[in-house]
Amino acid sequence: MNFSWMAWTLPTALFFLAILLLLVGMGVWEYVSPGGNPRIGILRFETTRGDRLFVSLLGSAFIHLAWLGLIGPNVWWATALSLVYAIGVFKFV
């Protein structure tokens, strides 16, 4: 099959690889320690690890879109900012 229309660049491939590794890692974590570790954070409602991962991925997508729209195609700094954001989400949400 011809996948040239997908424009697989190194950042694109790393992005999807990172999401795959996150999902596999969360699956292993859930298998080892079931229950999702629910807690109430700054949002004032109960969230699990999966909820916090979803919020992190959603926020990271918006960070990258804003970066592309406002700054340009060099997304490595947006990725670093997304990592800091995800750490904050897992710590405080």
pLDDT tens, position by position, 19-66: 899 999 999 998 998 887 789 999 898 999 989 999 999 999 999 999
Tally of domains in the chain:
1
pTM of the predicted protein model: 0.80
> Domain span at residue 67?
47-93
> Per the domain annotation, does 11 fall within a domain?
no
Dihedral angle, C-alpha 4, 15, 58, 52, nearest 10 °: 150
40 domain-assigned: no
Tell me if 56 sits within 8 A of 37, measured CB to CB: no
Is 18 a domain residue?
A: no
